[in-house]
Amino acid sequence: MTPFLASIGLPEIIAGILVLGLNAYVLTGGADFGGGVWDLFARGPRKAEQRELIAKSIGPIWEANHVWLILVVVILFTAFPAAFATLGIVLHIPLSLMLVGIVLRGSSFVFRSYGSTHKGAQRRWGRVFAIASIVTPVLLGIIVGAIATGAVGGAASTLPTKAGAPSANASFNSVFVAPWLAPFPLAVGALALAMFAFLAAVYLAYAATDDALRDDFRRRALGAAVAMFVAAFGGLGVAQMHAPSVSRDLTSGFALYFQVATGIAAVSAIAALWTRRWAVARIAAVAQVSLILWGWVVVQYPYVIPPSQTLRATAAPRITLVLLLYGLVGGSLILFPSLVYLYRTFAARDAESAQIEQAPRG
Amino acid sequence: MNDLLAARTQMAISLGFHIVFAEIGIAMPLMMLIAEWRWRRTGDPTYLQLARRWAKGTAILFAIGAVSGTVLSFELGLLWPGFMRLAGPLIGMPFSLEGFAFFLEAIFLGVYLYGWDRVSPRAHLAAGAMVAASGAASAVFVVMVNAWMNTPAGFDLSPDGALVNIDPIAAMQSPAAFQQALHMLIAAYAATGLAVAGVHALMLLRGGPSAFHTRALGIALLVGAPAAVLQPLSGDISARVVAVTQPVKLAALESQWTTERGAPLRIGGLPDAERERTRWAIEIPYGLSLLAFHDPHAEVKGLDIVAKADRPPIAVVHVAFQVMVALGSAMALVGLFAGWVTWRRKDVTTNRTLLRALVIVTPFGFIATEAGWIVTEVGRQPWVVQGIMRTSDAVTPMPGLAVPMTLFTLLYIGLGAIVVALMTSLVRETA
């Protein structure tokens, strides 16, 4: 057995499930944010149709997709409470701003869908929805980038041990701002935004029933792919200057396999889009984005918050992890059939039922 | 404003905002479901119209509940990292079960709202039932966590203040868990049911006979009135558990300054913490001993059992408790009135006295809920976990907490105003 496999225990299994939850959030909830991006950039003769397809694709499922984030947070604070506490303290500002984005995105979407039929009001809510859909992914990326650089862990180690006690060597800026308002986290923020927009465009190209509309989203997907490429390599360049340890870890050892696999998936996605193979493009895009996420996780293992807080050191007592595992497995047995049912019911590529959707409302 | 107070205010506002939407999210799906079921049974299209109208309102309110609930789950770490570090492993279990319940709620609400013509009638009703059931389950799981903070159980305390030998299952069944969950669930049905009844009663008073509002009122009363009548009984169970497990909280909410046998019940009044007495209260001899212990001569512990620094702000807790009891009693009376009219085989929708009473109590349930949460949360201060951890030891070391507090307060004031405006226009559409 390799040393890696030998090191797998309960904390690693729970952490693996946590990352799977985050992966599901990125692929589903992330794409819903991406939909908001394309709502803002709806252009051309089919502007209204683009917005309509986005709203129809997101409508029934965005709330369920959003719950993945809550599940991730709950697993984090149950299984790795010390890590959750550190993130809450050091990343207070970007997390709070992200929450404002989440609140505004969700509420403006329902206000637009169910609220006033007044066109001006609908346009205003659409604008809030679209802007919140851009800001939130950037903040999520910034948070991940800040953790990856080790700056969050570094700032946490300078914190006073007792709440409220003054600390001699830590200024407000160095603990609560500098770790995340830095070039590398910002580059990851841009990458996250491009990634979500890419996923959304690929899904929408697949879901569209009209060829012209499908080509609109094909062009957008290709554009987002280029933006992802720029953000990823820009980020790597920034990392070489500002976070050398990250760039070294990302391009060495095990992580390199992930980078190569990500590259293959990226090329496949673009090739499939180019040749209009929508189903293949969707699978390749999902693979590409998932590989980027897992590439980060592999680099960071065994740390939850580098450079010093490991999974093991921040893990809850064994009994908590055992019960949590039972809970997660049991919950999944109900959750997954329900999710499949939801997605099947609203499989967007069902032209016939899309017609019925237009039936009068109460 | 110091950071601790700012953090407490932000948490109070976030919870106080969320809880209204959470209550509606528990009770509204049940009412939608009854309306749809009546439609499927009778074929009366008014019931279908009603189910769809209520579903539209629920869609907006549920989304606000979902996002404000997300804020709370993050705020546990943003504002109270010390608490989460201590208690996360012990109280994570009900939170993760709540996560799954919330998942089911969101999934089947999506099916319900968007699936009228996509799934079979039976599947549609079943989806509604799933929403109603998982909403109630979510509430029970979350309240279990709060109950643990009031009556912590399932661990040993190590000399350095850490929780050892933890038992998360025992923590879920802390002494306050059952009565708090019961009280919260009944509150959700009573508050939402009577609020909806009040809205439709107003439309009937203003617009005259209407099949739509008559049927709406019937279903809203079916859910709200029995709950409102039962709530005082559940409150009695709550008070007796608090008397045993949290004597200081009981003393604060009744403003019982000194330990005494045959303690009187004080109704109203304003406690003066400086002079340790309560002015202008009506005192009913032996009342408190009777209520709390079902024995007129039972000893009731007073605030004097702890040092002044360990007492909650008595005036706030006492007044909030009086408000909750007064509004809850009024709701129970209106519920009984509605029951009496029905029992006399009279039509509840033409009894103008009842309709007027319902209009008056429309907001009572939500105000009583807020007051109740003030009682249980402020009444536990200065502890975040009763007797184990002080709130001041749980708060984040980040300075300047007045800024996020102001930000979220403004955000919620804005959202609240928009929701009220939308709901008003939704009701007007049916007039």
In Å, how far is B19's CA from the nearest CA of chain A?
Answer: 16
Instruction: Please name the residue of chain B whose CA is at the shortest distance from the CA of residue A339.
Output: B107
Contacts of A59 in chain B (CB under 8 A): 110, 114
Predicted complex ipTM: 0.93
Per the CB < 8 A criterion, the answer to whether A192 and A140 are in contact is yes
Q: Supply the pLDDT for residue A358.
A: 39
Q: Does B395 contact A163 at a Cβ distance shorter than 8 Å? A: yes
Of B63, B86, B169, the CB nearest to A110: B63
> Which pTM does this prediction carry?
0.93
Of B109, B393, B418, the CB nearest to A163: B393
Q: Does B107 contact A341 at a Cβ distance shorter than 8 Å? A: yes
Per the CB < 8 A criterion, the answer to whether A309 and A302 are in contact is no
Q: With bands split at pLDDT 50, 70 and 90, how would you rate the model's confidence at A239?
A: confident
Q: How many CB pairs under 8 A join A and B?
A: 237
For residue A327, what are its two tokens? 């809970």
Alpha-carbon distance of B328 to B320, in angstroms, equals 12
Neighbours of A296 (CB within 10 A): 21
Cβ-Cβ contacts under 8 Å for A28 (sequence gap 6 or more) = A61, A65, A68
Cα→Cα distances A282→A62, A69, A265, A278, Å: 19, 22, 11, 6
Q: Does A63 contact B3 at a Cβ distance shorter than 8 Å? A: no
Q: Is the pLDDT of residue A356 over 80?
A: no
Contacts of B106 in chain A (CB under 8 A): 63-64, 66-67
pLDDT digits (tens, 9 = 90+) for B411-424: 999 999 999 988 88
Of A88, A111, A317, the CB nearest to B418: A111
Q: Supply the pLDDT for residue B302.
A: 94
Contacts of A77 in chain B (CB under 8 A): 76-77, 84, 88, 92, 95
In Å, how far is B121's CA from the nearest CA of chain A?
Answer: 14
In Å, how far is A3's CA from the nearest CA of chain B?
Answer: 29
Q: Does A69 contact B70 at a Cβ distance shorter than 8 Å? A: yes
pLDDT digits (tens, 9 = 90+) for A276-304: 999 999 999 999 999 999 999 988 888 99
Interface test with B, best of A25, A62, A320, A334 (most B CBs within 10 A): A320
Alpha-carbon distance of B147 to B174, in angstroms, equals 7
DSSP string of B234-261, one letter each residue = HHHHHHHHHHHH-HHHHHHHTT--S-EE
Q: Supply the pLDDT for residue B348.
A: 82
Question: Region B39-64: what's the mean pLDDT?
Answer: 93
Whether omega for the bond prior to residue A185 falls within 30 degrees of 0, making it cis, is no
Question: Region A177-193: what's the mean pLDDT?
Answer: 95
Contacts of A356 in chain B (CB under 8 A): 117-118
Q: Supply the pLDDT for residue A170.
A: 74
Whether omega for the bond prior to residue B94 falls within 30 degrees of 0, making it cis, is no
Per the CB < 8 A criterion, the answer to whether B166 and B221 are in contact is no
pLDDT digits (tens, 9 = 90+) for B143-183: 999 999 999 999 999 998 889 999 999 999 999 999 999 99
Q: With bands split at pLDDT 50, 70 and 90, how would you rate the model's confidence at A362?
A: very low
- Bridge partner list, B389: B385
For residue A187, what are its two tokens? 């580059």
In Å, how far is A92's CA from the nearest CA of chain B?
Answer: 6
Residues B150-167 as b or e (16 or more Cβ within 10 Å = b): bbbbbbeeeeeeebeebb
Question: Region B267-279: what's the mean pLDDT?
Answer: 89
Alpha-carbon distance of B168 to B144, in angstroms, equals 11
Of B55, B76, B102, the CB nearest to A77: B76
From first CA to last CA, the distance across chain A in angstroms is 62
Instruction: Please name the residue of chain A whose CA is at the shortest distance from the CA of residue B409.
Output: A100
Q: With bands split at pLDDT 50, 70 and 90, how would you rate the model's confidence at A359?
A: very low
Q: Supply the pLDDT for residue A168.
A: 54
Q: CA A334, A335, A338: angle at the middle one, nearest 5?
A: 90
Q: Does A176 contact B398 at a Cβ distance shorter than 8 Å? A: yes
Question: Region B376-393: what's the mean pLDDT?
Answer: 96
For residue B206, what are its two tokens? 């203003």
Contacts of B414 in chain A (CB under 8 A): none
In Å, how far is B20's CA from the nearest CA of chain A?
Answer: 15
Instruction: Please name the residue of chain B whose CA is at the shortest distance from the CA of residue A359.
Output: B117
Per the CB < 8 A criterion, the answer to whether B368 and B195 are in contact is no
Contacts of B6 in chain A (CB under 8 A): none
Q: Supply the pLDDT for residue A213.
A: 94
